[in-house]
Structure 1
Amino acid sequence: MDDALSEVEFLARSANRVTVLQQLARGRHTRGELGDITNASQATLGRILDDFLDRSWIRHDDGEYIATATGRLVADSMTDLLSSLETEAKLREIIDYLPTHAMDFDLEHLADATITVPTEMRPSAPLKEVLAVMEDAAHLRVFSHAFNDQSIDIVERRVQAGEQTFEGVFAESAIAAIAKTEALWKRFKSLAASPDASVRVRTDGVPLAATIADGTVVFLLRDGRGLVQASLASTDERVLEWAVETHDHYWRTAVPFDPDRYETAGSDDT
């Protein structure tokens, strides 16, 4: 373990070492080419290459350098480590709100995700990101513990215009909340009654809020008080596969939406 940590430290102390080894793992390079890539001096490159030769991570062949099998192993491992650390740093701010317990995929698949957080100038930025994705989708699938008025407005309008198909599965608490506002309830029932929309209700609840808009998956992340803290959008194939499978699971374990169950005489119009 100590020897391995020493080698990690040896590489990590110099970005040029990492770059040179990664480049040589991809193919042959002369010292001059490596200098152009790294902007390192020839003296620095000489020390790096000598250190790598001593470790048998590279070999010198006809004026060019190339990684050995063990050199490629080290380069690939270092690349994976750096990628993991970059992803962790990206997710650090929102990890407390990310429902990782329900996500059956490695977080590395979120490396290229777009994260939007509220700012003083744009406090509603995360929700607007989700709404923009919903607005553009031809086929929209949602599984969620909430469904706000702006989302209902967009989906009901686009579905009724024949511009979108919709499959939504919601926690029973979400439907009950919508039913408390008469105008919103009317629009939601109109959406659910459309031939291009299907709505189901899950009595066991839905522990997260996710939208599948064509090939994009968007999570709306809330804190323990229910306040939106971020949105996260991903087009990664594994994330999309997981989202579709999860939607299908919630769909199969839900019941068709029946508005009569939620009609209340005391609904208001606020």
Structure 2
Amino acid sequence: MTLFEIIILAIIQGLTEFLPISSSAHLILPSEVLGWNNQGMAFDVAVHVGSLLAIIIYFREDIWRLTGAWFSYGLSANQTQDSRLGWWIIIATIPAVILGFALKDFIEIYTRSALVIAITTIGFGLLLWYADYKATQTKTVHQITWKNAIFIGLAQAIAIIPGTSRSGITMTAGLMIGLDRESAARFSFLLSIPVILGAGLLATYDLIQTPDAVDWQALIFGAAFSFVSAYACIYLFLAWISKIGMLPFVIYRLILGAALLLFVFI
């Protein structure tokens, strides 16, 4: 990859990892639409490391508090708000782990195409609009129940299909259960930490098995630009989402999906 391609792909990944518009779709599209070479597994690992560092640093106080509470009260009959939230994050992660392992090869072979991305981008974009339009926004993140956690976790598992958007589908599910927009986004972001970490470790393991040479300059630049764009994205999204709602992202998804359909059929 050229330096230009490295920077663009890293910024795209950092921004779209946490916006409800699908990072996997945007990383596949340059090769599908622009004819760029596939960025390769090592680069995917690097940009995910950058995004993971961004969210860990941004939510460092929440992570420290939730982790401490979970270890202190996790197996106790008397749960605190934070220890309970820690449990809900664990429970909501399980469906994605199971389906991710079970369907990994199928997803890689049959769903990484512009047509699939167009369909899921439009379909789940409309679902996000419906959830936001009908949202009661009466709950905060600490009012999530174990049933809510399972529901959001099952929704997150669907995001293994490119174009769905992990953050988009989990925010959609959060709005459906009555969370306010900021709480839906905050839980989605916290939920992304174990998922990104697990995906990164799995990709790293696959990378170790391959004899391909590693372009360390590309990895360093990719991780750095992904970190900066992801951190900015998290900060601005949480600051604005209660005011602007999900409609701008829905409109973007519809335009992107329509453009992809034109690309596929024309």
- Normalising by structure 2, we get a TM-score of 0.24
- Normalising by structure 1, we get a TM-score of 0.24
Of Structure 1 and Structure 2, the greater strand share is in: 1
- For the pair shown, the structure with the greater C-alpha radius of gyration is 1
